[in-house]
Structure 1
Amino acid sequence: MTGLRNFEDLIQDIDCDKNLLLGNGFSIACSDIFSYDSILKKSSLCNSDLFCDNSDYEKVIENLNFKKEVYQLANEEYEIAQMYESWSEEIKWDLVNTLTKLHDKVYTSDKENHNTFLFLSDFNNIFTLNYDLLLYWVIIYAVRLYQSNFDYYKNIVHINNFYPRDGFDRSQSESDCIWCQDKWIQNVFYLHGGLHLFCDSENTYKLKYASSNNLSIIDKTKYWLERGTSPLVIIEGNSVDKLKWIRGNHYLNYCYEQFCQIQGVLFIHGHSLDDKDKHIFDAINTNP
């Protein structure tokens, strides 16, 4: 019987496109502060009865939405249904706020970013389900390495010639970038959005560091949160609702369609294969 092969040997033997799907385990491997247990401990809702027996935000949201739907069926209980919907929205807002603030407690060294980049560079396309900025920080590191030491960069990525491209305008200005479908080759996809992504009725934007006023990306996210504007993140209790929101946003829908059409081999890193992301695994199972 053939035993399990190690990653290094397997990745070298594959001669077709290699795709990577990242789940929350990727972030927790960097810092356990990104686990739901840790997030809830730092949350303003840590003592709320809503989380009396569960720290999984999405499961709590699913439970609240189920109760809302039950009361909606009884027309005379409309106000109670509205209460459950309000609690669900409060939990979503709390998750985004708490996760944003937790980034102040996370530091990734150049060595850590470099090692993560070496891992990512083995792939042709990277898809992530995470909202946090860890992947974005690695991409920023890779771009700076490319610009400062091109020969060294080309030497370490010689197999795939990997260069991270997220589809946003690559202007050198400090203005936030606009996503431009088909204008740039894209090989990094945020399937459920991210804390650094915002949208309006027409465009999706990516926040950039502004050296002129020393505003970090996470500072910019906090700025918009303080003004009542949430980043583009999909926080829902079940796969059906997640897919509904994905289909309603041009950027997310494009990313999802690209995932549905991947060719070659898919590696999954740090995901529990939970039913809450059934839309992701339906896409895998129906891929020809």
Structure 2
Amino acid sequence: MPYVIEQWADISESFNDSVLLGNGASIGIDRSFSYPSLQQHAIDNGLLTHHVQRLFSHFDTNDFELILRLVWQANRVNLALEITDNETQNAYEHVRDCLIQAVRSIHPECCEVEEQFTDIALFLSSFKTVLSLNYDLSLYWVIMHANRDFNGHCFKDCFLHGEFDEDWQRFRESISRWDRRNTLIFYPHGSLILARNVVEQEEKLEAGGGDLLRAILRQWESGEYIPLFVSEGTSSQKVKAIHNSHYLNTVYREVLPKVGNNLTIYGWGFGEHDIHILRRLAESDVTSVAISVFGADQGYCTRVHQMILDHIGNDVEVVFFDCMSPGAWNNAA
């Protein structure tokens, strides 16, 4: 018997705790995000030298952030000890420049997609928690756009003065008439907006009133910051990267198990490389899950329904809804 594909408006009142955003959410905003990986983009465009490709092979990864962090740390040690090592310096600069070129060519400008922000903000404002697995700036742009309205609803990422606040749950409290209702935002796999500095402190970068994407890339070019996001790799590789970051580890350990009783999943492919997210959600109190479907794909429904039962529990109610239905993500209500 085929799965029923609901309209979002028909089920939305039953799903208001948390929403998990996968790559399909970003692709829905701009097709450029459909590129399979940043590393593949660099390879296809001839950006990676043979020496740098050897680094990816040696460490058995396709995670740009990991390779950049390794050569960055090695280069910082050499500089501190006044060790002359041009190869490490060149490798670091090349990996950094490749990542910058890949992001610059894939990522749209804010002005190209901002007409969708109001509909997305309306969708997200119905949830208490938003978890985005995407590294791009789309979600950050949306919440900045929405918070300028001062309409009594506030999106909060739990960062103060560029630093993540350990007591993140206090941000659910209202402190003024501008935030009578709150939605907390988290990035379980990091984001372009997040970075490590030379002493491994994690910060949220700011544009200072200018173009955010350009400001971030300039920070990378300075050699003082490296990005904090895990966009590629196997599930076990991603978990290792998560444990190497205070912010990512906090979200993984503390936030994912507290998503509430109902969870909405939009645009997530349920790939094996993200199975750690499902396993962590199994520690939560989730009893019902609503999952977006593109094109009434019954095969997808069958596969992910079984994955939910296998990894979260047999007693979880699973419903599917049309990702293009009115009110869902960037579709006008």
TM-based fold match above 0.5: yes
- Do 1:40 and 1:46's aligned partners in 2 also have CA atoms closer than 8 Å? no
Letter in 1 for 2:250: Y
2: CA distance, partners of 1:236 / 1:193: 12
Equivalent position SS for 1:94: helix
2: CA distance, partners of 1:142 / 1:246: 29
- Deviation of residue 121 (structure 1)? 1.0
Letter in 2 for 1:23: G
| 1:248 paired to 2:244 | yes
| Among 229, 234, 238, the residue aligned to 1:238 | 234
Partner of 1:46: 45
2: CA distance, partners of 1:217 / 1:203: 20
Equivalent position SS for 1:130: coil
Change (3 A) 1:167 1:8: same
| 1:221 paired to 2:216 | yes
Partner of 2:159: 168
After the TM superposition, which of the residue ranges 94-103 and 38-47 deviates more from structure 2? 38-47
Partner of 1:7: 8
Letter in 1 for 2:154: Y
Change (3 A) 1:282 1:259: same
Letter in 2 for 1:275: E
Equivalent position SS for 2:265: strand
Partner of 2:140: 136
Which is strand-richer, 1 or 2?
A: 2
2: CA distance, partners of 1:36 / 1:5: 29
Partner of 2:328: none
% identical aligned pairs: 28
- Do 1:126 and 1:188's aligned partners in 2 also have CA atoms closer than 8 Å? yes
Equivalent position SS for 2:227: coil
2: CA distance, partners of 1:248 / 1:41: 24
After the TM superposition, which of the residue ranges 26-35 and 90-99 deviates more from structure 2? 90-99
- Do 2:137 and 2:193's aligned partners in 1 also have CA atoms closer than 8 Å? yes
Change (3 A) 1:114 1:235: closer
| Among 185, 189, 192, the residue aligned to 2:171 | 185
- Deviation of residue 91 (structure 1)? 6.9
Equivalent position SS for 2:186: strand
Residues 119-130 of structure 1: pairs in structure 2 closer than 5 A: 119-130=123-134
Partner of 1:21: 20
- Do 2:29 and 2:113's aligned partners in 1 also have CA atoms closer than 8 Å? no
- Do 1:129 and 1:192's aligned partners in 2 also have CA atoms closer than 8 Å? yes
Letter in 2 for 1:259: L
2: CA distance, partners of 1:33 / 1:41: 14
Letter in 2 for 1:138: V
After the TM superposition, which of the residue ranges 128-137 and 254-263 deviates more from structure 2? 254-263
| Among 108, 117, 123, the residue aligned to 2:121 | 117
Q: Deviations over 1:146-196 (max 9, x none)?
A: 1xxx3xxx4xxxxxxx52110111xxxxxx622222165161101111111
Partner of 1:266: 263
- Deviation of residue 256 (structure 1)? 1.3
Aligned residues: 238
2: CA distance, partners of 1:255 / 1:49: 32
Q: Deviations over 1:232-270 (max 9, x none)?
A: 111442111111111121111111121123221111111
- Do 1:34 and 1:99's aligned partners in 2 also have CA atoms closer than 8 Å? no
Equivalent position SS for 1:185: helix
TM-score (norm: length of structure 1): 0.70
Change (3 A) 1:49 1:202: closer
Partner of 2:77: none
- Do 1:100 and 1:221's aligned partners in 2 also have CA atoms closer than 8 Å? no
- Deviation of residue 106 (structure 1)? 5.4
- Deviation of residue 39 (structure 1)? 6.0
Change (3 A) 1:13 1:37: closer
- Do 2:188 and 2:248's aligned partners in 1 also have CA atoms closer than 8 Å? yes
Q: Unaligned regions of 5+ residues in structure 2, if any? A: 50-55, 63-89, 173-183, 286-333
Change (3 A) 1:64 1:238: farther
Change (3 A) 1:143 1:3: same
Q: Unaligned regions of 5+ residues in structure 1, if any? A: 51-60, 69-85, 155-161, 170-175
2: CA distance, partners of 1:45 / 1:13: 44
Q: Deviations over 1:98-142 (max 9, x none)?
A: 124543555345541101101111211000111100000001001
TM-score (norm: length of structure 2): 0.61
